[in-house]
Each structure stands twice: as structure tokens, then as C-alpha cells.
Amino acid sequence: MKLAAVKGFRDIQAGEVLARRAVLEASCEVLENYGFEELELPLLEKVELFKRTVGDTSDIVEKEMYTFEDRDGSTLALRPEGTASLVRAYLAAGMARSQPEGRFYYQGAMFRRERPQKGRFRQFSQIGAEMLGRSDPAADAEAVTLVADICEAVGLREYRVELNSLGDDACRPAYRKALEAWGQERIDSLCEDCRSRLQRNPLRLLDCKVEACREAMQGAPMMVDSLCDDCESHHGRVNELLTESGVEVTANPRMVRGLDYYCRTAFEVTAAGLGSQDAVGGGGRYDGLAALLGGPDIAGVGFAFGLERMVLAAAGQEPSAPPVDIVVAPLEERALGVVLGLARRLRRAGKRVEVESPSRSLKAQMKRADRSGAACVLLVGEAELEAGKATLRDMVNKADHAQLIELDGDAEQLIKCIGEAVKGGA
């Protein structure tokens, strides 16, 4: 029986692994330049964590979480997102007291049972960041600036940062009622999901991708027109700070986030190269989340990028593996132990070294070495063992050298001799 990967779960081949690593390293460098520390979070959490924070009406909780009952009767979930997990970890470690203004980032696999499509899988990776303990507009502006700098660092093509305000508990209830009334008047045009959301979370009507629902919501009231004075002032100041910082954003009053914990500032990043579903990341403010988890009322703002979609949207060619520096070829079984020791010394000195198999012919060994891009091959056979030296074959200049390399020499001296030999053949 042929076994295939589970639908929505996939093998990641070497070329994409390198591209992902490049994107991650560039992102982490920017995050650490902003003073963020990395936390590692568990893959499994109690399902209540996400039901309480993400919201019962979110697609994640209603349709997408992978859950199972543990042996003790508790229900666990593979994490579908990272913010709730990070805030839980922050509170559990007592950092609300020791580090009340914390900056943290995380990376790793997330799991959602949604329809696989370009750049979207049921197991996917995110890199995200959270700034806790700051409720001022400057924190929001810095988070958006950080997002823009990550986009630049990884080379996203034609990216755009869209910005909106979702209000807060003072002004959002009245807006929800106005939006619900709008939807009720057009309920016959709404899809089944939107009808169920109408009373529980009418803001999600603005997020529906069904064309009939999008048409029905044209002209619907916008949250930015219903903000209370405090939210309007906060939103205006965020925009002012971004303008002064030279960060370009696009107002999108129809943009909402799919998770219930967001309030006030919300933003989303779109990029070219992803088709119609062009979002590559997003985030916003979530001031009530820590209190919802039983902690103090600590403000927060953060974001997450989907790594697969970042790789797709990044400019440039897919990176290739760095070439092998040196190939060491044993010409007989007796030479293998010496060859492995030689390769180890060279590797510990920082060289990329590949060891050939003595079962292959010399011609086959040289052919593979040529394909690897190695600068040279060190041949060790019976004569070399007796002399305590390796014969160097120059793969750059395609020449053999009379000069032999001492087998038991210091690694740095070996590397120097190899370099001089190859240079001398030019």
C-alpha cells in the first residue's frame, strides 16, 4: 500500500527549507533589533484557551481546530495561533510582575483544518511578535513599523499594510447593533455562515468572502465612523506617528480580524504573488486578553506572519545550498577511518566537507565531486596511507598537483595548504 501525506500536511523539500530559513533569519534579526526576545511555546494547549480568547464564533473554534480527548478526560488542541499561547505563557511565568512591559516573539507550526490552497496548509508555520504592557498609540505605531521593516528585510514584493480601528467596549456595542440591523434587512442575500454570525458576531459579515455577502454589505456602516472620542483620538495618533516615521499605510475601513480579542488598531499585510487570497500576515491590539485569561488587565499589541506565504511573496530566486568546499575520497576500505578523521578536523575548522564511499570507482567519485561544486578532492589510497599524505585534485582548474597534503597536519595548516595548492593551479 502506498502511503501519502495527510491532506493539507506536506513534506518540505531542501530548496524551500533554505528559503524558509532565509526568511526566518531575516525576520528574527529585525525583531531582535527592536528588542524582542524569543519564547518557545508548546504545540498542545487546553482547548479552553482558544475558546475563551479566540471566540466561539470564530472560524478557528467553529470549524478549524484539531482537538482530541486526553487519557485524563481533558480536551486538548493543536495550537491554531500563537498570541493566546504566548500571553498564557507570559502570565504563567509571572512576567506580568517581573517584566510588565515585555517584548516577545515566537515561531513554529500551527494547525487549522481549512481548505488547502496556495500558500495555505493545515499545518503551517508562523512567526509572530507581541508587545505587552503598552496601551499608548506609539506602541501600535511601532508594531506597524516593525511589520513594515520585516517586509522590507525579507524582500516582499509590492506589499501593502492596511490599517483600521475596531473600536473598544465603549463604542463597539452600538456599532454591532447598527451592523446587525443592516444585515437583518438583507438576510436573504447572506450565506448560511453569515446568518449564524448575524447576532453572535456581526462584524464578521464584513469579512465574508462570498460574493453575494460582499455585495449585500456594500454601503454598510463602518466602525471608523462610530468610534468614541478616545478610540478616534488613538487611531488618529497612530496614523500621525506612522506618517512622521515614514511608514506608508492604506486605510481599509472594511478590514476586521478573524479573532475576537482584537480592539482598536487592526492591520493586515498583503503582497503580490499570492493570487486573490493575498494576505501574508496581520495583527492588532488586544487589551483585554490577559485579563480574560485570569491575569491583570495588561494591554497588548502584536502580529503574526504566515511563513509559507512570506516565502511565496518574497522577491528573488529560491536560494541554493552552499557548495561543498572539499570532498575527501577514500580509494580503498582501509583508508576510510583516516578519511573520516581528516574530514572531521576540516569540518570543525568550518569547512563543508563530503566523504565519498570507497565502494565507488575513482571515476564515479570524481563525477559526484564535480557536481557538488567542491573546490578540490583529497584522494587517500594505499600509496597515500604509506606516505601519510593525501593527493590533492584541483576541481577549479581541473589539474593534479605534485604537492601532497599531510594527513595528520593541523586543520588550519591543512586548509592553508589546500588553498595555496588550488590558487597555484590558476
- Residue 90 predicted with pLDDT over 90: yes
- The beta strand positions in 94-188, using DSSP E, are 103-111, 123-132, 160-165
Tell me the mean pLDDT in the region 329-355: 91
- Residue 268 predicted with pLDDT over 70: yes
* DSSP assignment of 353-414: EEEPPTTS-HHHHHHHHHHHT-SEEEEE-HHHHHHTEEEEEETTTTEEEEEEEETTS-HHHH
**Has residue 256 been placed in a domain?**
yes
Indicate whether 276 and 402 sit together in one domain: no
222: left (phi over 0), alpha (psi -120 to 50) or beta: beta
Indicate whether 332 and 266 sit together in one domain: no
Tell me the mean pLDDT in the region 150-163: 92
Tell me the mean pLDDT in the region 271-283: 82
**Has residue 87 been placed in a domain?**
yes
Q: What is the CATH number of the domain that holds 346?
A: 3.40.50.800
- Residue 307 predicted with pLDDT over 90: yes
Tell me the mean pLDDT in the region 1-16: 84
Residue 122: CB atoms within 10 Å: 19
Indicate whether 92 and 153 sit together in one domain: yes
Tell me the mean pLDDT in the region 356-382: 88
**Has residue 51 been placed in a domain?**
yes
If residue 45 lies in a helix (H) or strand (E), which one and from where to where? strand 44-46
Q: What is the pLDDT of residue 91?
A: 93
Beta carbons of 127 and 27 less than 8 angstroms apart:
yes
Indicate whether 303 and 330 sit together in one domain: no
Indicate whether 278 and 390 sit together in one domain: no
What percent of the chain lies above the pLDDT cut of 90?
Answer: 43
Q: What is the pLDDT of residue 282?
A: 93
Q: What is the pLDDT of residue 52?
A: 83
**Has residue 301 been placed in a domain?**
yes
**Has residue 338 been placed in a domain?**
yes
- Residue 47 predicted with pLDDT over 80: yes
pLDDT in tens, 160-219: 999 999 999 899 889 888 888 888 888 888 888 888 777 777 887 887 778 888 888 888
**320 falls in which pLDDT band (50, 70, 90)?**
low
- Residue 294 predicted with pLDDT over 60: yes
> Hey, which of 12-16, 120-124, 160-164 has the most confident mean pLDDT?
160-164
**Has residue 156 been placed in a domain?**
yes
Q: Which is more confidently placed, 382 or 405?
A: 382
**Has residue 274 been placed in a domain?**
yes
**Has residue 198 been placed in a domain?**
no
Query: Which pTM value belongs to this model?
Result: 0.84
Paired residues of 56 in beta bridges? none
Indicate whether 39 and 137 sit together in one domain: yes
DSSP code for 64: I
**426 falls in which pLDDT band (50, 70, 90)?**
very low
Dist CA 116 CA 253 (whole Å): 28
pLDDT in tens, 325-340: 899 999 999 999 999 9
Tell me the mean pLDDT in the region 19-43: 94
User: Where among 264, 284, 313 does a domain terminate?
Assistant: 313
Cell numbers standing for residue 29: 534579526
Residues 6+ apart with CB under 8 A from 11: 5
Q: What is the CATH number of the domain that holds 247?
A: 3.30.930.10
Dist CA 125 CA 305 (whole Å): 8
pLDDT in tens, 63-72: 688 888 999 9
- Residue 405 predicted with pLDDT over 80: no
Indicate whether 22 and 135 sit together in one domain: yes
Q: What is the pLDDT of residue 151?
A: 94
Produce one character per residue of 130-169: b if its CB has 16 or more CB atoms within 10 Å, e if not: bbbbbeebebbbbbbbbbbbbbebbebeebbbbbbbbbbe
> How far from 14 is each of 156, 259, 356, 367, CA to CA, in Å?
21, 34, 21, 22
Helix axes 137-154, 229-245, angle to 10 degrees: 40
Residues 6+ apart with CB under 8 A from 95: 102
Indicate whether 335 and 299 sit together in one domain: no
Q: Which is more confidently placed, 400 or 47?
A: 47
**313 falls in which pLDDT band (50, 70, 90)?**
confident
Indicate whether 240 and 309 sit together in one domain: yes
- Residue 419 predicted with pLDDT over 80: no
Indicate whether 119 and 236 sit together in one domain: yes
Tell whether the torsion through CA atoms of 357, 361, 365 and 367 is positive or negative: negative
* Mean pLDDT taken over the chain: 87
Indicate whether 370 and 303 sit together in one domain: no
Print the domain residue range for 260. 14-171+227-313
Number of domains in the chain: 2
Q: Which is more confidently placed, 243 or 273?
A: 243
Tell me the mean pLDDT in the region 375-381: 89
- Residue 315 predicted with pLDDT over 70: no
Indicate whether 251 and 397 sit together in one domain: no
